[in-house]
Protein backbone atom coordinates (compact mmCIF):
# COMPACT_ATOMS: atom_id res chain seq x y z
CA UNK A 1 0.00 0.00 0.00
CA UNK A 2 1.43 3.35 -1.05
CA UNK A 3 1.07 6.06 1.62
CA UNK A 4 1.48 9.64 0.39
CA UNK A 5 1.72 12.47 2.92
CA UNK A 6 0.60 16.06 2.50
CA UNK A 7 0.27 19.16 4.69
CA UNK A 8 -1.84 22.28 4.99
CA UNK A 9 -1.50 25.76 3.48
CA UNK A 10 1.90 27.04 4.64
CA UNK A 11 5.43 25.97 5.45
CA UNK A 12 7.36 26.55 8.68
CA UNK A 13 10.60 26.28 6.68
CA UNK A 14 9.89 28.72 3.85
CA UNK A 15 10.24 32.31 5.03
CA UNK A 16 7.93 35.19 4.02
CA UNK A 17 5.65 32.92 1.98
CA UNK A 18 2.24 33.38 3.57
CA UNK A 19 -0.60 32.53 1.16
CA UNK A 20 -3.11 34.19 3.50
CA UNK A 21 -2.10 37.85 3.59
CA UNK A 22 -5.29 39.81 4.04
CA UNK A 23 -7.08 43.12 4.14
CA UNK A 24 -10.14 43.78 6.26
CA UNK A 25 -13.19 45.60 4.96
CA UNK A 26 -12.49 48.40 7.48
CA UNK A 27 -9.03 48.84 5.91
CA UNK A 28 -10.61 48.76 2.46
CA UNK A 29 -13.08 51.50 3.43
CA UNK A 30 -10.33 53.73 4.81
CA UNK A 31 -8.92 54.06 1.29
CA UNK A 32 -11.07 56.83 -0.18
CA UNK A 33 -10.31 55.92 -3.79
CA UNK A 34 -12.24 52.70 -4.45
CA UNK A 35 -10.20 51.82 -7.54
CA UNK A 36 -6.97 52.15 -5.56
CA UNK A 37 -8.46 49.99 -2.79
CA UNK A 38 -9.41 47.26 -5.29
CA UNK A 39 -5.95 47.49 -6.87
CA UNK A 40 -4.46 46.88 -3.40
CA UNK A 41 -6.72 43.83 -2.91
CA UNK A 42 -5.53 42.49 -6.26
CA UNK A 43 -1.87 43.02 -5.31
CA UNK A 44 -2.40 41.08 -2.07
CA UNK A 45 -4.24 38.24 -3.86
CA UNK A 46 -1.49 37.98 -6.50
CA UNK A 47 1.18 37.96 -3.77
CA UNK A 48 -0.71 35.10 -2.08
CA UNK A 49 -0.77 33.12 -5.34
CA UNK A 50 2.93 33.81 -5.96
CA UNK A 51 3.64 32.46 -2.47
CA UNK A 52 1.54 29.38 -3.28
CA UNK A 53 3.80 28.73 -6.26
CA UNK A 54 6.85 29.14 -4.00
CA UNK A 55 5.27 26.60 -1.65
CA UNK A 56 4.69 24.11 -4.48
CA UNK A 57 8.32 24.53 -5.60
CA UNK A 58 9.44 23.92 -2.01
CA UNK A 59 7.19 20.84 -1.94
CA UNK A 60 8.69 19.55 -5.19
CA UNK A 61 12.19 19.83 -3.71
CA UNK A 62 11.08 17.53 -0.88
CA UNK A 63 8.95 15.13 -3.00
CA UNK A 64 5.68 16.40 -1.47
CA UNK A 65 2.93 15.91 -4.04
CA UNK A 66 -0.16 16.44 -1.86
CA UNK A 67 -1.06 19.93 -0.59
CA UNK A 68 -4.04 21.90 0.68
CA UNK A 69 -4.32 25.49 -0.48
CA UNK A 70 -5.43 28.18 1.93
CA UNK A 71 -9.04 29.27 1.41
CA UNK A 72 -7.94 32.85 2.20
CA UNK A 73 -6.11 33.47 -1.07
CA UNK A 74 -8.36 36.38 -2.11
CA UNK A 75 -9.24 38.88 0.63
CA UNK A 76 -12.88 40.06 0.60
CA UNK A 77 -13.71 37.96 -2.48
CA UNK A 78 -17.15 37.21 -1.04
CA UNK A 79 -17.89 40.50 0.68
CA UNK A 80 -21.38 41.79 -0.13
CA UNK A 81 -20.03 45.31 -0.78
CA UNK A 82 -17.68 43.99 -3.47
CA UNK A 83 -20.17 42.05 -5.57
CA UNK A 84 -19.12 43.96 -8.70
CA UNK A 85 -15.43 43.04 -8.36
CA UNK A 86 -14.27 40.53 -10.97
CA UNK A 87 -11.43 39.15 -8.86
CA UNK A 88 -10.46 36.32 -11.25
CA UNK A 89 -9.46 38.50 -14.21
CA UNK A 90 -6.40 40.13 -12.55
CA UNK A 91 -5.27 36.76 -11.16
CA UNK A 92 -5.43 34.77 -14.40
CA UNK A 93 -1.69 34.68 -15.08
CA UNK A 94 -0.71 33.53 -11.59
CA UNK A 95 -3.57 31.02 -11.36
CA UNK A 96 -2.60 29.50 -14.70
CA UNK A 97 1.05 29.24 -13.67
CA UNK A 98 0.13 27.65 -10.34
CA UNK A 99 -2.13 25.06 -11.94
CA UNK A 100 0.36 24.28 -14.70
CA UNK A 101 3.08 23.60 -12.11
CA UNK A 102 0.80 21.34 -10.03
CA UNK A 103 -0.27 19.38 -13.12
CA UNK A 104 3.23 19.08 -14.56
CA UNK A 105 4.49 17.54 -11.33
CA UNK A 106 1.34 15.45 -10.73
CA UNK A 107 0.50 17.16 -7.45
CA UNK A 108 -2.84 16.63 -5.77
CA UNK A 109 -4.10 19.99 -4.51
CA UNK A 110 -7.38 20.82 -2.81
CA UNK A 111 -9.21 23.12 -0.38
CA UNK A 112 -11.00 22.89 2.96
CA UNK A 113 -13.38 25.90 2.99
CA UNK A 114 -13.94 27.47 6.40
CA UNK A 115 -16.46 26.20 8.93
CA UNK A 116 -18.98 28.92 8.02
CA UNK A 117 -19.62 27.06 4.72
CA UNK A 118 -22.67 25.12 5.87
CA UNK A 119 -24.79 23.20 3.36
CA UNK A 120 -27.39 21.91 5.83
CA UNK A 121 -28.49 25.28 7.15
CA UNK A 122 -32.28 25.80 7.26
CA UNK A 123 -31.58 29.52 6.67
CA UNK A 124 -31.60 30.48 3.02
CA UNK A 125 -29.15 33.35 3.52
CA UNK A 126 -26.49 31.09 5.09
CA UNK A 127 -26.89 28.52 2.32
CA UNK A 128 -26.66 31.27 -0.30
CA UNK A 129 -23.42 32.64 1.22
CA UNK A 130 -22.00 29.09 1.48
CA UNK A 131 -22.65 28.48 -2.22
CA UNK A 132 -21.06 31.83 -3.06
CA UNK A 133 -17.89 30.74 -1.24
CA UNK A 134 -17.88 27.37 -3.02
CA UNK A 135 -18.32 29.11 -6.38
CA UNK A 136 -15.24 31.19 -5.56
CA UNK A 137 -13.25 28.00 -4.87
CA UNK A 138 -14.47 26.55 -8.16
CA UNK A 139 -13.41 29.69 -10.05
CA UNK A 140 -9.93 29.39 -8.53
CA UNK A 141 -9.63 25.74 -9.57
CA UNK A 142 -10.94 26.45 -13.07
CA UNK A 143 -8.51 29.38 -13.32
CA UNK A 144 -5.72 26.93 -12.47
CA UNK A 145 -6.97 24.53 -15.12
CA UNK A 146 -7.56 21.87 -12.45
CA UNK A 147 -10.58 19.58 -12.58
CA UNK A 148 -12.73 20.73 -9.61
CA UNK A 149 -14.04 17.21 -8.94
CA UNK A 150 -13.57 16.27 -5.25
CA UNK A 151 -11.35 19.20 -4.36
CA UNK A 152 -13.27 20.74 -1.42
CA UNK A 153 -13.63 19.01 1.96
CA UNK A 154 -16.63 20.08 4.06
CA UNK A 155 -18.08 19.10 7.40
CA UNK A 156 -21.76 18.14 7.38
CA UNK A 157 -22.71 21.31 9.28
CA UNK A 158 -24.76 22.16 12.35
CA UNK A 159 -27.08 19.89 14.37
CA UNK A 160 -29.67 22.66 14.94
CA UNK A 161 -30.95 20.75 18.01
CA UNK A 162 -32.10 17.78 15.91
CA UNK A 163 -29.36 15.79 14.19
CA UNK A 164 -31.66 13.56 12.17
CA UNK A 165 -33.54 16.55 10.83
CA UNK A 166 -30.20 18.28 10.14
CA UNK A 167 -29.09 15.31 8.01
CA UNK A 168 -32.38 15.39 6.09
CA UNK A 169 -31.99 19.16 5.66
CA UNK A 170 -28.61 18.51 4.02
CA UNK A 171 -30.30 16.15 1.52
CA UNK A 172 -33.11 18.63 0.91
CA UNK A 173 -30.65 21.51 0.32
CA UNK A 174 -28.45 19.28 -1.87
CA UNK A 175 -31.27 18.99 -4.41
CA UNK A 176 -31.02 22.75 -5.03
CA UNK A 177 -27.22 22.86 -5.33
CA UNK A 178 -25.90 23.06 -8.91
CA UNK A 179 -24.19 19.86 -10.12
CA UNK A 180 -20.95 21.72 -10.81
CA UNK A 181 -20.78 22.61 -7.08
CA UNK A 182 -21.92 19.17 -5.92
CA UNK A 183 -19.11 17.44 -7.79
CA UNK A 184 -16.48 19.46 -5.89
CA UNK A 185 -17.54 18.19 -2.48
CA UNK A 186 -16.03 15.61 -0.13
CA UNK A 187 -17.55 15.12 3.34
CA UNK A 188 -15.62 14.63 6.57
CA UNK A 189 -16.65 13.29 9.97
CA UNK A 190 -16.20 16.10 12.50
CA UNK A 191 -15.02 16.26 16.11
CA UNK A 192 -18.20 17.48 17.81
CA UNK A 193 -21.39 16.66 15.90
CA UNK A 194 -21.55 14.30 12.93
CA UNK A 195 -19.62 11.06 13.30
CA UNK A 196 -18.34 8.71 10.62
CA UNK A 197 -21.61 6.74 10.35
CA UNK A 198 -23.57 9.96 9.77
CA UNK A 199 -21.09 11.26 7.19
CA UNK A 200 -21.34 7.87 5.43
CA UNK A 201 -25.13 8.06 5.45
CA UNK A 202 -24.91 11.23 3.34
CA UNK A 203 -21.89 10.09 1.33
CA UNK A 204 -23.64 6.93 0.14
CA UNK A 205 -27.00 8.57 -0.43
CA UNK A 206 -25.59 11.49 -2.44
CA UNK A 207 -22.54 9.81 -4.05
CA UNK A 208 -20.06 12.02 -2.19
CA UNK A 209 -16.62 10.71 -1.13
CA UNK A 210 -16.09 10.55 2.63
CA UNK A 211 -12.75 11.70 4.07
CA UNK A 212 -12.08 9.79 7.27
CA UNK A 213 -10.56 11.93 10.03
CA UNK A 214 -9.04 9.51 12.53
CA UNK A 215 -8.49 12.11 15.27
CA UNK A 216 -12.08 13.38 14.95
CA UNK A 217 -13.27 9.79 15.28
CA UNK A 218 -11.29 9.38 18.50
CA UNK A 219 -13.08 12.33 20.12
CA UNK A 220 -16.47 11.92 18.43
CA UNK A 221 -16.94 8.31 17.46
CA UNK A 222 -18.45 6.58 20.45
CA UNK A 223 -20.46 3.58 19.30
CA UNK A 224 -19.00 3.59 15.78
CA UNK A 225 -16.53 0.85 14.85
CA UNK A 226 -14.46 2.62 12.21
CA UNK A 227 -12.77 -0.58 11.04
CA UNK A 228 -16.15 -2.17 10.33
CA UNK A 229 -17.17 0.98 8.41
CA UNK A 230 -13.90 1.31 6.47
CA UNK A 231 -15.11 -0.71 3.42
CA UNK A 232 -18.02 1.75 3.17
CA UNK A 233 -15.56 4.68 3.23
CA UNK A 234 -13.64 3.09 0.33
CA UNK A 235 -16.94 2.53 -1.48
CA UNK A 236 -17.68 6.27 -1.52
CA UNK A 237 -14.46 6.81 -3.53
CA UNK A 238 -15.26 4.28 -6.27
CA UNK A 239 -16.30 6.90 -8.82
CA UNK A 240 -13.62 9.43 -7.91
CA UNK A 241 -10.64 10.06 -10.19
CA UNK A 242 -8.55 10.58 -7.03
CA UNK A 243 -7.14 8.09 -4.49
CA UNK A 244 -8.85 7.65 -1.10
CA UNK A 245 -7.98 10.51 1.23
CA UNK A 246 -7.89 10.74 5.02
CA UNK A 247 -6.93 13.35 7.61
CA UNK A 248 -4.43 12.64 10.35
CA UNK A 249 -3.74 14.75 13.43
CA UNK A 250 -2.98 13.99 17.06
CA UNK A 251 -4.53 15.40 20.25
CA UNK A 252 -2.48 18.20 21.80
CA UNK A 253 -3.07 16.89 25.34
CA UNK A 254 -5.67 15.22 27.56
CA UNK A 255 -7.08 18.57 28.72
CA UNK A 256 -7.80 19.63 25.15
CA UNK A 257 -8.10 16.42 23.11
CA UNK A 258 -9.72 18.18 20.14
CA UNK A 259 -6.83 20.59 19.56
CA UNK A 260 -4.12 19.57 17.10
CA UNK A 261 -0.65 18.74 18.39
CA UNK A 262 2.53 20.13 16.84
CA UNK A 263 3.37 16.76 15.27
CA UNK A 264 1.78 13.38 14.54
CA UNK A 265 1.94 10.53 17.03
CA UNK A 266 3.54 7.81 14.87
CA UNK A 267 2.11 4.98 16.97
CA UNK A 268 -1.42 6.28 16.44
CA UNK A 269 -0.83 6.75 12.70
CA UNK A 270 0.73 3.35 12.06
CA UNK A 271 -1.98 1.62 14.11
CA UNK A 272 -4.46 3.08 11.63
CA UNK A 273 -2.37 2.20 8.56
CA UNK A 274 -1.82 -1.40 9.63
CA UNK A 275 -5.56 -1.81 10.21
CA UNK A 276 -6.34 -0.78 6.60
CA UNK A 277 -3.32 -2.39 4.91
CA UNK A 278 -4.34 -4.24 1.76
CA UNK A 279 -7.74 -2.54 1.49
CA UNK A 280 -6.56 0.13 -0.99
CA UNK A 281 -3.55 0.38 -3.33
CA UNK A 282 -2.88 3.99 -2.25
CA UNK A 283 -4.00 6.38 0.47
CA UNK A 284 -3.30 10.11 0.60
CA UNK A 285 -2.95 11.34 4.19
CA UNK A 286 -3.35 15.03 4.91
CA UNK A 287 -1.41 16.03 8.03
CA UNK A 288 -3.20 18.62 10.14
CA UNK A 289 -0.52 19.68 12.63
CA UNK A 290 0.86 22.95 13.98
CA UNK A 291 4.31 22.21 12.55
CA UNK A 292 2.97 21.94 8.98
CA UNK A 293 5.69 20.57 6.66
CA UNK A 294 8.06 19.91 9.59
CA UNK A 295 5.41 17.54 11.02
CA UNK A 296 5.51 15.72 7.66
CA UNK A 297 9.33 15.50 7.74
CA UNK A 298 9.23 14.21 11.33
CA UNK A 299 6.62 11.60 10.41
CA UNK A 300 8.85 10.41 7.54
CA UNK A 301 11.77 10.12 9.97
CA UNK A 302 9.49 8.10 12.28
CA UNK A 303 8.36 5.93 9.36
CA UNK A 304 11.96 4.81 8.77
CA UNK A 305 11.92 3.23 12.24
CA UNK A 306 8.76 1.23 11.54
CA UNK A 307 8.71 -2.42 10.54
CA UNK A 308 7.53 -3.24 7.02
CA UNK A 309 8.09 0.27 5.66
CA UNK A 310 9.87 0.90 2.37
CA UNK A 311 10.65 4.57 1.80
CA UNK A 312 9.79 5.76 -1.73
CA UNK A 313 10.91 9.39 -1.46
CA UNK A 314 10.82 12.34 0.94
CA UNK A 315 7.05 12.22 1.46
CA UNK A 316 5.77 8.74 0.67
CA UNK A 317 6.39 5.10 1.54
CA UNK A 318 5.07 1.61 1.02
CA UNK A 319 3.63 -0.28 3.96
CA UNK A 320 4.25 -3.96 3.30
In this prediction, residue 225 carries a pLDDT of: 98
Domain with 64 in it:
2-319
Q: What is the DSSP letter of 222?
A: T
**pLDDT tens string 51-94:** 999 999 999 999 999 999 999 999 999 888 888 899 999 999 99
Q: What is the CATH number of the domain that holds 271?
A: 3.20.20.150
Residue 30, pLDDT score: 85
Can you tell me the mean pLDDT for 137-164?
Answer: 97
How many Cβ atoms from other residues are within 10 Å of residue 226's Cβ? 19
pLDDT (tens digit per residue) in 247-268: 999 998 878 899 999 999 999 9
Residue 78's pLDDT is 86
- The dihedral over CA atoms of 214, 218, 222, 223, expressed in degrees to the nearest 10, equals 40
**Mean pLDDT over each residue of the chain, to the nearest integer:** 96
Over the stretch 96-148, which tens digit does the pLDDT of each residue have? 999 999 999 999 999 999 989 999 999 999 999 999 999 999 999 999 999 99
Task: Give me the percent of the chain exceeding a pLDDT of 70.
Answer: 100
Taking the C-alpha atoms of residue 26 and residue 62, their distance in angstroms, rounded to an integer, is 40
pLDDT tier for residue 190 given thresholds of 50, 70 and 90:
very high
∠ CA(59), CA(62), CA(67), 5° rounding?
30
- In this prediction, residue 23 carries a pLDDT of 87
User: Among candidates 177, 173, 220, which has minimal Cα distance to 199?
Assistant: 220
pLDDT for residue 298: 98
Q: Give the pLDDT of residue 203.
A: 98
DSSP three-state, residue 221:
coil
For the beta carbon of residue 34, count every other beta carbon within 10 angstroms. Answer: 12
Phi, psi values for residue 164, rounded to 5°: -60, -45
Q: Is the pLDDT of residue 26 over 90?
A: no
- The total of structural domains in the chain comes to 1
pLDDT at res. 13: 97
Q: Is the pLDDT of residue 157 over 90?
A: yes
Percent of the chain with pLDDT over 90: 91
DSSP 90: G
Amino acid sequence: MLVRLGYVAMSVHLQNASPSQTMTFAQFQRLKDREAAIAKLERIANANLENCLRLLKHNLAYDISFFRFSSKLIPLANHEELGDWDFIAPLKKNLKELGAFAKEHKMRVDFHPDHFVVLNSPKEEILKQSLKTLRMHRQLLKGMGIDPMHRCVLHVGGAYEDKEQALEQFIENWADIPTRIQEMIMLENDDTTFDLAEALYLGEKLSVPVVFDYHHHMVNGAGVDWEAEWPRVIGTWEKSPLPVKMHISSPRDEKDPRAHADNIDPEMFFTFLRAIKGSVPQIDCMIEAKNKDEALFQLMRDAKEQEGVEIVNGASFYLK
